[in-house]
Amino acid sequence: MAYADLANLSDEQLVHHELALERDLVSAKFRLATNQLEDSSHLGKLRKDIARCRTAERSREKEQGLGKNALRTQHSCTFDATAAATSAAQDEGAGSGFLKGIVDKIGSGE
């Protein structure tokens, strides 16, 4: 997401977007470690997007006269990690993911 697009988001949406990106980054790191990540440049893109979000958050904090990480502290408690994971799974295709094989084994009782 471009920095200009982040200006259209509310403070809460911006924080939630950053937290979702951080969750995607952790997931991508796991997929890289298990050789399931096809494009390793995806990690760098995620890190840059996270940096853009943090820059936008900090500039808003300065405009509002808030301390560092005040927006994140204020809005991170309303972040629904399961909804973010569900939307990420839908983006990748239903039923895919780096833990799918393990879940299938556990579910089948092997």
**What's the mean per-residue pLDDT of the chain?**
82
Q: What is the DSSP string of 5-66?
A: HHTTS-HHHHHHHHHHHHHHHHHHHHHHHTT--S-THHHHHHHHHHHHHHHHHHHHHHHHTP
pLDDT per residue as tens digits for the range 8-61:
999 999 999 999 999 999 999 999 999 999 998 999 999 999 999 999 999 999
pLDDT bucket at 2, cuts 50 / 70 / 90: confident
| 52 contacts: CB under 8 Å, gap ≥ 6 | 1, 2, 3, 6
Question: What does the domain layout of the chain look like in residue ranges?
Answer: 3-108
CA quadruple 9, 41, 20, 60: dihedral sign: negative
State if pTM tops 0.95: no
Q: What percent of the chain has pLDDT over 90?
A: 55
